[in-house]
Amino acid sequence: MASAAMPGSAPLTAAKLARLLALVVPAGLLGGALASQYVGGLHPCEMCYWQRWPHAAAILLAGGAFLTPARSARSRMFTALAALAIAISGAIGVFHAGVELGWWQGLTRCTSGGAISLDDLMNVPLVRCDEVQWSLLGISMAGWNAILSLGSAAGIALLLAKGRA
């Protein structure tokens, strides 16, 4: 199957698509989380923060992949590590969604964020990791992160394997 390309541009190979997804997926998911917090007013719990760090690492790793030729071993390594970081965020999302659904015990403490002074601290809402703040089609943000992250990480891995063939 031939890759589609714009006139005058290089074809989009499996390796190039893998590294593009390794950058776009965590950027989109992290951007969505930040937008829900700063635009939508949803306060994250501690496990929400845990899911963000691997996405930030994946963005940096995918950026490293773009600094090297797409089919090089170094680019493949950075892309694979980005996929691993995305999968780690997805695994944390599975754990968090399980806590929300009551499948297993989560953290025993609640968190609050954004406080600067004692007055601010007293007015910041307490956020529990076992309560769903927002859902779509009955799936929480943690659940969507798990689905999208694990699916994307698997897709990136398949593209990397295809690029080797």
Q: What is the pLDDT of residues 107-123, one digit of tens each?
A: 655 444 555 556 655 56
Give me the chain's average pLDDT, please: 80
Contacts of 141 (CB under 8 A, 6+ apart): 33, 36, 42, 48, 133, 134, 135
pLDDT at 3 over 60: no
User: What's the pLDDT at 112?
Assistant: 47
pLDDT at 125 over 80: no
Q: What is the pLDDT of residues 64-110, one digit of tens each?
A: 998 988 778 898 899 999 999 999 999 988 888 888 777 777 765 54
User: What's the pLDDT at 126?
Assistant: 63
| C-alpha to C-alpha distance for 103 and 149, rounded to whole angstroms | 21
Alpha-carbon dihedral sign for residues 74, 80, 85, 88:
negative
Domains annotated for the chain, with CATH where assigned, are: 14-164 (1.20.1550)
Percent of the chain with pLDDT over 90: 33
| C-alpha to C-alpha distance for 114 and 65, rounded to whole angstroms | 34
Please say whether the beta carbons of 22 and 154 come within 8 A: no
